[in-house]
Structure 1
């Protein structure tokens, strides 16, 4: 009798049985390995936005996508109390005269492609922003910096032209995200569209224009700010920022779970969402301001009497009540109250109260006893559209007959850049008085100075405030700027919306930050 031993490497039947077993176990292994119940499910958080960026490049962007916050670190970070704290810089020293700032940098930090972060990246980023060839909208914010000098790989020195107490604020902004030195030469026209390289907690995966931006967690990240509870990699795998222009669609996606975080909750939807057990609403004072503006270099808006008439024609209380369901505050000045140091306390006292009779009187003095015809432009989202309709009716009461024109976000910006505006609705979001520099300095004409306000006295007042040697003096000088702007009725301030975020309950450890959601700070999502 022939016995077959345990060796399957010999004999035709042994080989056949061996192969069969491999195929069989391989088949079952494939089934189990690919089974959703057996595999670790990818953790994804989806945030909805109402608009898409023009480019994902902090230096060139006209509007900063949230994605840029998470792709890039900055030298300076801001904690939950809006205090300035170390970021990529571990510390900084300032000379007695305020003209020399020395930043000491973190070591062992790497860009997403593995390149070590050093002082050369800081110098290249700031020099490139300031270079006129870059045409960065942020260049003016760094004009106080005269020179950036590399002391060694982890020390960089900035020499200022004049004392500038707002430097830390500017270096903590989205636009100051540190880029990899030479990234433009390395990636060419693809940079900011198909490639983005930072040191942030998330890495760029893809951008499908008009649809979504996909970021994946940086598994090597371990240099988060010290004030965060989590300084390592994010706890979830992907952050998807979806562009959903329609308000109703954003709400529906939130309710059905297609979106987990809605950063700007439409006021009329708040009560509905509050009653939904699947949704949490987070509310805080915002650094936003909504206003009606006009092309100040065009007739009849070049006349201060007409601008004052328009300010008296607007019933802010009614707008806050019916358009924003009370989730806003009437605005009479040019900064929100959240900017405690810089806000002008007497804004309401100096501002223009609702007074149609006074408005008609001013129009008559300006030579328009029967009013005039004009256009009123707004973005085509539901809140802006409703606001435009209410403003149209209120202006009609004093004889200003405004035809409404609605635009998508990209077309709206293009229209303003082309100088085609008459009356138009705007909303800004910015936690610093230098927003007035951005929109109202003559050097910013024609865009972002979309009010087309080129005024030597405004320039003088703003420049004096921006170059004040101390923060306290700076704040007081910006109050002078605000008094003058109210007197000249350069804008018609209307409302300050509450900051409201809607977050699905499966998102865990969510914390509201006065500037931007800190997704890397322990936020997680519970998967089913």
Structure 2
């Protein structure tokens, strides 16, 4: 056997900190969640796993081919391939109605999609459907039967199942990135069994169905996860996924990266989970570089917070914060971690390598080292000359804690005291941020997050819609309820602009406006190329650009002849158990959002 000849069998074992933000595709928006969900939930279109630009172009998944487009560019007819089946008893074909159901589920008022604007601004009638869905259950908690009843009784004007294998999607305006939008995890097919469950509820997790190569057989939040082969899946009906291993085990524990590294070297684990462990000798292929940068980290504000007389609602206070951050020292902090990725100072909301990026610096400081004096001047002008206290959320695992302590020290020098509030797990952190009630209650004022776009290439909307378009519903990625009618207008204009160059100019105008408003404070941009450490028996390691460069588990296989080095453990599928405790250190990125947010 050679390295390029896949073998079947064995159990792929992950080990590390953190869990999933959600198991439900309708709302999951965290990198680790997407690694798992793509193994059991399929979309109409997706991306090849490759280390070059071909990985950026959406191709058919459950769709049989590219859509047939009407003369006006608004009506898209999509045919579905046959043989794609749910793991029901007996197995049942995936239908066009399953995709209609999946798209409707994103609008649910319990825990909705973090990027709902991709769809409400594109598919005819979806904005009205989402608004009516929220209004119907405002002020009360619906049951699963309530939600299913609403979805059955109300249609999205631009979604029609024409028989079991034809889906018609009508748009509000032509969209040259429609396939990118339909390739997001949110747009997964949903079987009729999901009508019996509240979205992402424990009942949903126990009843989740698969149309991919693996199915979820157990999940204990922040503790463990196991997937096994889906007997209903056929490789010849899936152009994007393989399924070489028999099972996938994830053991989740609050451990540092050295503990995970030791486990991989001993052969007790195959890959890190939750926080990347960097290989000391693996160099990412050059073709995987330069595909676009992530914003990682940035500071975001809770513009609903009543704390300190609504301090962060005051533009002068936010500008004070923007002047306080020592970005150059943050670059050194990341460089000292030897992460194997390119990190540089960020001045814009849309970083280099993404549609709409233009370099400019609205709040310059000497050498990008911060300006505490200017921070104090702005605070005094805002009426906080005697100082200010801000509540800052942070996660205990490094480098999240390092980043929080770092910007807290920066703000202290500028006259702002930071009260650090610990959120212990990454998945809980984002559940917290995506809950509007916690923002309104003032449970946080400021926090560090990260953003990797949902796709690279033609991706202007993948930056500004989730983060900056008005959206303060459950599951939002506009965590602090930033809203500006001019930004909303510019977004609509960019989406309607047929000229790509002019559209990019409009995305840049959005960037300038949100920075003028200090909706966020960009700190660093990084090339999210991660040289992941792999165990001695792992083969076929290919990164997924659309999932924050994490490795495609569906493409991995295990070499049964490989053995650990002398002094290492056996790494057998059975009997290996990894233990350890403590806080994480030296992980690859703040985000780890989520591709997406710090999700993921």
TM norm structure 2: 0.72
Q: Does 1:260 align with 2:286?
A: no
Q: 1:158 to 1:415 in 2, by over 3 A?
A: closer
Q: Report the CA distance between 1:254 and its aligned residue.
A: 3.0
One of 236, 244, 249 as aligned partner of 1:240: 249
How far apart, CA to CA, are the structure 2 residues paired with 1:239 and 1:388?
34
Asked whether 1:88 is paired with 2:62, we answer yes
User: What corresponds to 1:443 in structure 2?
Assistant: 471
CA contact (8 A) 1:119 1:152 kept: yes
Q: 1:116 to 1:414 in 2, by over 3 A?
A: closer
Relative distance call for 1:466 and 1:393 in structure 2 (3 A) is same
Aligned counterpart, 1:145 = 123
Residues 1:363 and 2:379 aligned together: yes
User: Structure 1 148/69 Cα, relative in aligned 2: closer, same or farther at 3 Å?
Assistant: same
Q: Does the residue aligned with 1:153 lie in a helix, a strand or coil? A: coil
Query: Residues of 2 paired with 1:54 and 1:293: CA distance?
Result: 19
Aligned partner of 2:332 in structure 1 is: 321
SS of the equivalent of 1:405 reads: strand
2:469 and 2:487 in contact (8 A); partners too: yes
Instruction: Report the CA distance between 1:100 and its aligned residue.
Output: 0.6
Aligned: 1:384 with 2:400: yes
Alignment equivalent of 2:349, drawn from 317, 324, 334: 334
- The answer to which structure, 1 or 2, has the higher relative contact order (CA under 8 A, 6+ apart) is 2
Q: Is the 8 A contact 1:289 1:334 kept in 2?
A: no
Q: Distance in 1 between matches of 2:118 and 2:175?
A: 11
Query: 1:296 corresponds to which residue?
Result: 303
Cα RMSD (Å): 3.0
- 1:456 maps to which of 473, 476, 485: 485
Distance 1:205 1:466, change over 3 A: same
Give the deviation of 1:350 after TM superposition: 7.0
Deviation at 1:265, TM superposition (A): 5.4
Task: Work out whether 1:482 is the aligned partner of 2:514.
Answer: no
Distance 1:46 1:288 in 2: 30
Q: For residue 346 of structure 1, what is the aligned residue in structure 2?
A: 359
| TM superposition shift of 1:414 | 5.2
> Quick one: structure 1 residues 107 and 194, their matched pair in 2 at CA, closer, same or farther if it must change by over 3 Å?
same
* Mapped partners of 2:253, 2:501: distance in 1: 42
Note the C-alpha offset of 1:293.
Answer: 1.8
Per the alignment, residue 207 of structure 1 pairs with: 219
Contiguous gaps of at least 5 residues in structure 2:
1-6, 125-157, 564-600
1:434 maps to: 462
Per mean C-alpha deviation after superposition, the further-off stretch among 461-470 and 400-409 is 461-470
Q: Give the superposition deviation at 1:387.
A: 0.9
Query: Deviation at 1:54?
Result: 4.5
Counterpart-to-counterpart distance in 2, 1:477 and 1:262: 40
* 1:77 and 2:81 matched: no
Distance 1:422 1:524, change over 3 A: same
Deviation at 1:415, TM superposition (A): 4.4
Q: Distance in 1 between matches of 2:362 and 2:312?
A: 24
Q: Give per-residue Cα distances to partners, 1:402-429, cap 9 Å, x unaligned.
A: 1222212355345432111112111233
Following superposition of structure 1 onto structure 2, how do residues 275-286 of structure 1 map, counting pairs within 5 Å? Answer: 284=289, 286=293
Deviations 1:374-398 (A, max 9, x none): 2222111121111111111111211
Which residue of 2 is the match for residue 31 of structure 1?
none
Partner residue, 1:169: 180
Q: How far has the Cα of 1:284 moved from its partner?
A: 4.3
CA distance in 2, matches of 1:118, 1:372: 56
Structure 2 residue 535 is the aligned partner of structure 1 residue 504: yes
For structure 1, which runs of at least 5 residues remain unmatched after alignment?
A: 1-39
Instruction: Give the whole-Å Cα distance in 2 for the aligned partners of 1:313 and 1:187.
Output: 44
Q: Equivalent residue for 2:100?
A: 123
The Cα of 1:288 is off from its aligned counterpart by 4.6
> Conserved in 1, the CA contact under 8 Å of 2:468 and 2:514?
no
Cα distance in 2 between the residues matched to 1:174 and 1:509: 23
Classify 1:356/1:137 alpha carbon distance in 2 versus 1 (closer, same or farther; 3 Å). closer
Output the CA distance in 1 between the equivalents of 2:360 and 2:267: 42
Q: Which has the higher strand share?
A: 1
Partner of 2:566: none
Map of 1:401 onto structure 2: 417
Asked if the contact 1:164–1:468 (Cα under 8 Å) also holds between the matched residues in 2, the reply is no
Aligned equivalent of 2:165: 154
Between the aligned partners of 1:129 and 1:304, the Cα distance in structure 2 is 33
Aligned residues: 475
471-480 vs 235-244, which deviates more? 471-480
Distance across 1 between alignment mates of 2:97 and 2:451: 34
Structure with the greater alpha carbon radius of gyration: 1
Q: Deviations over 1:245-291 (max 9, x none)?
A: 3334433433333332236756xx74xx405xxx7777746535311
Tell me, what secondary structure is at the counterpart of 1:274? Answer: coil
